[in-house]
């Protein structure tokens, strides 16, 4: 029997993508599986054996953790990336990282096809496929959960999972402790930033510190998880226009967001920050919708990176019972000027100027008031 060609399948080792593997072979494809390690808790060797036993022609298992942190999470930290005011985009930034490597494999293995196990109503299918199309425009994508002959046959099992997911949030959390069961003593951390990304984390009490991107991020996940930080239960708006419930945990990301917000406001000019805030919101929407690899996301990342050149210094914070408390900050590049802001030193600042400032700002407001009962006519 002639092969229809080679497909690189994003494989998780779970039931879903195992079914897909088998089905793709049934359809006549040679299947290469690809399993990315981006930090999840997984038995990678078991997955390898399973893939091989199910007939994978080749099995790739790759550790993408370091590049995931540096190339994807760090830009999200710089952007203060939050979707719809609450969701920290953990899954959303993982997709382009995984898909990027998957198309590299497809190209180097001469595969014309890629496949994945994302469902037909979700965001991940879009994130996955837009990345593939952007980086490998000629690729052909097989999305079994959108192919009737596949999904009518396998639907039953997924219903169950879906059911479980929506009825037992408590058990879903894998990285974070329940804050009610978390330690009664805070951990105090010092996070050092340069160019808007963390370069070192120190546990102040224990003296322990980490300074590679992956180590920093892993450690923040560990500490955040221990204290139950970053659990949310939200309704969100998917790209395809549905509302759905999401339950997420982002322990390290939550600490990073709070610390970065603090260092950024401390060091970046007010108006630059305001413009950058708008770019950050745009970035978050783009990433959520799957446009990491797009001209506009490149552009926005580039602009945001520029805004971060002075985001340098140390933030002290405590982590306790699900919360992150900023304790203080210091920076060699701070625009904070103790003398200027202080009441007891007048310095270069003349309080009388404020009177003029306020009165000029009031010109328009007073004019507006004047017009409220107005009945003449102006002509120019």
Binding to its own copies, residues 141-200 (CB under 8 A): 143, 145-148, 151, 155, 158-159, 162-163, 179-180, 184, 186
Q: Which stretch binds its own copies (CB under 8 A): 45-53, 67-75, 214-222, 346-354?
A: 346-354
In contact, 202 and 190? CB cutoff 8 Å: yes
5 counts as binding its own copies under rule CB under 8 A: no
CB of 29 to its own copies, least distance (A): 18
From residue 269, give the alpha-carbon distance in Å to each of 49, 196, 336. Answer: 54, 14, 10
CB of 356 to its own copies, least distance (A): 2
Please report how many Cα atoms fall inside a 13 Å half-sphere around the Cα of residue 32, on the Cβ side: 21
Among 133, 215, 218, 226, binds its own copies (CB under 8 A): 133
CB of 205 to its own copies, least distance (A): 15
3 counts as binding its own copies under rule CB under 8 A: no
Task: Determine how many CB atoms are found less than 10 A away from the CB of residue 29.
Answer: 22
Task: Report the residue number, 12 or 307, with the smaller CB distance to its own copies.
Answer: 307
Q: CA 295, CA 362: separation in Å to the nearest integer?
A: 43
Strands 5-10 and 29-37 come out as parallel
Task: Report the residue number, 144 or 198, with the smaller CB distance to its own copies.
Answer: 144
Please report how many Cα atoms fall inside a 13 Å half-sphere around the Cα of residue 323, on the Cβ side: 9
In contact, 349 and 226? CB cutoff 8 Å: no
Task: Report the residue number, 50 or 260, with the smaller CB distance to its own copies.
Answer: 260
The 107-126 contact track toward its own copies, x by CB under 8 A, reads ------------xxx---xx
Task: Report the residue number, 26 or 159, with the smaller CB distance to its own copies.
Answer: 159
Which residues from 215-274 bind its own copies, rule CB under 8 A?
231-237, 240-245, 261-262, 265-266, 269-274
Task: Report the residue number, 60 or 288, with the smaller CB distance to its own copies.
Answer: 288
The 47-86 contact track toward its own copies, x by CB under 8 A, reads ---------------------------------x---xxx
Question: Which contacts qualify for 140-144: CB closer than 8 Å, 24 or more apart?
Answer: 140/112, 140/113, 140/114, 141/113, 141/114, 141/115, 141/116, 142/7, 142/24, 142/29, 142/113, 142/114, 142/115, 143/115, 143/116, 143/118, 144/20, 144/23, 144/24, 144/115, 144/117
In contact, 39 and 98? CB cutoff 8 Å: no
Which residues from 9-38 bind its own copies, rule CB under 8 A?
none
Q: Which stretch binds its own copies (CB under 8 A): 45-53, 66-74, 202-210, 348-356?
A: 348-356
85: DSSP letter: T
Q: Which stretch binds its own copies (CB under 8 A): 34-42, 53-61, 94-102, 352-360?
A: 352-360
Task: Report the residue number, 47 or 279, with the smaller CB distance to its own copies.
Answer: 279
Q: Of all helices (H) and strands (E), which one includes residue 34?
A: strand 29-37
């Amino acid at each position: 029997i002639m092969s229809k060609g080679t497909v690189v399948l994003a494989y998780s080792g779970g039931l879903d993508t195992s079914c897909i593997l088998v089905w793709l072979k049934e359809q006549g494809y040679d299947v290469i599986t690809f399993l990315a390690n981006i930090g999840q808790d997984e038995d990678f060797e078991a997955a390898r054996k399973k893939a091989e036993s199910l007939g994978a022609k080749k099995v790739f298992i790759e550790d993408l953790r370091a590049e995931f942190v540096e190339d994807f999470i760090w830009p999200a930290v710089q952007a203060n990336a939050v979707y719809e005011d609450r969701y920290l985009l953990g899954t959303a930034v993982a997709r382009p990282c995984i898909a990027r490597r998957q198309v590299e494999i497809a190209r180097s293995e001469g595969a014309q096809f890629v496949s994945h196990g994302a469902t037909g109503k979700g965001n991940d299918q879009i994130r996955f496929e837009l990345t593939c199309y952007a980086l490998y425009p000629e690729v052909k994508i097989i999305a079994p959960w959108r192919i009737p002959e596949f999904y009518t046959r396998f639907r039953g099992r997924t219903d169950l999972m879906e059911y479980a997911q929506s009825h037992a949030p408590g058990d879903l959390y894998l990285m974070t402790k329940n804050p009610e069961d978390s330690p009664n003593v805070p951990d105090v951390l010092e996070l050092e930033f340069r160019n808007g990304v963390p370069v070192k984390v120190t546990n102040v009490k224990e003296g322990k510190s980490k300074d590679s991107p992956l180590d920093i991020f892993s450690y923040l996940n560990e500490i955040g998880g221990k204290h139950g930080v970053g659990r949310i239960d939200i309704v969100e708006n998917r790209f395809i226009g549905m509302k759905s419930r999401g339950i997420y945990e982002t322990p390290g990301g939550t600490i990073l967001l709070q610390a970065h917000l603090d260092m950024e406001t401390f060091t970046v000019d007010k108006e630059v920050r305001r413009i950058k805030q708008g770019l950050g919101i745009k970035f978050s929407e783009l990433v959520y919708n799957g446009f990491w690899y797009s001209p506009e996301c490149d552009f926005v990342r580039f602009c945001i990176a520029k805004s971060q050149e002075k985001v340098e210094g140390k933030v002290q914070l405590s982590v306790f019972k699900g919360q992150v408390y900023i304790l203080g900050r210091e920076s060699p590049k701070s625009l904070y000027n103790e003398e200027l802001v202080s009441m007891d030193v007048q310095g270069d600042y003349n309080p009388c100027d404020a009177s003029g400032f306020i009165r000029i700002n009031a010109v328009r407001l007073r004019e507006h008031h004047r017009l409220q009962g107005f009945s003449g006519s102006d002509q120019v």
